Structure 1
Amino acid sequence: MQAVKHRVVIQLSSNDTLAWKGLMNNLKNLKEGWGDSVQVKVVAHGNGIQLLMAAKTTQLDNIRKFKAMGIDFVGCENTLREKKISKTEIIPEAGFVKMGVGEIILRQEDGWSYIKSGF
Structure 2
Amino acid sequence: MKILFKYFLVLAVIALVKPAFAQKTDVGFKGAAASKAHYKALYFVDDTASAKIKMTLRNIDNALEDPRLKGKVEIELVAFSGGYTMFLKSGPYEKTLQALQKKGVVLAQCNNTIKERNIDKNTLFDFIGYVPSGNGEIIIRGNDGWAIVHP
TM-score under structure 2 normalisation?
0.72
| Stretches (4+) displaced over 2 A | none
User: What is the Cα deviation at residue 24 of structure 1?
Assistant: 1.6
TM-score under structure 1 normalisation?
0.90
Query: How many Å separate the matches in 2 of 1:61 and 1:103?
Result: 25
Share of identical aligned residues, percent?
Answer: 23
Query: How many Å separate the matches in 1 of 2:134 and 2:96?
Result: 21
Query: How many Å separate the matches in 1 of 2:61 and 2:111?
Result: 27
Long gaps (5+) in structure 1:
none
2:145 paired with 1:76 = no
Three-state SS of the structure 2 residue aligned to 1:14 is: coil
Query: How many Å separate the matches in 2 of 1:74 and 1:28?
Result: 17
User: What is the Cα deviation at residue 4 of structure 1?
Assistant: 5.5
Structure with the greater alpha carbon radius of gyration = 2
Deviations 1:8-39 (A, max 9, x none): 00111011111111012101111111222100
For residues 94-109 of structure 1, what are the structure 2 equivalents within 5 Å?
94-109=128-143
Query: How many Å separate the matches in 2 of 1:77 and 1:26?
Result: 24
From the two aligned structures, give the one with the greater strand fraction.
1
1:48 counterpart (71, 83, 99): 83
Taking a change above 3 Å as real, the CA distance of residues 108 and 75 of structure 1, as seen in their structure-2 partners, is same
Q: CA RMSD in A?
A: 1.3
What is the total number of aligned residue pairs between the two structures? 114
1:59 counterpart (80, 93, 102): 93
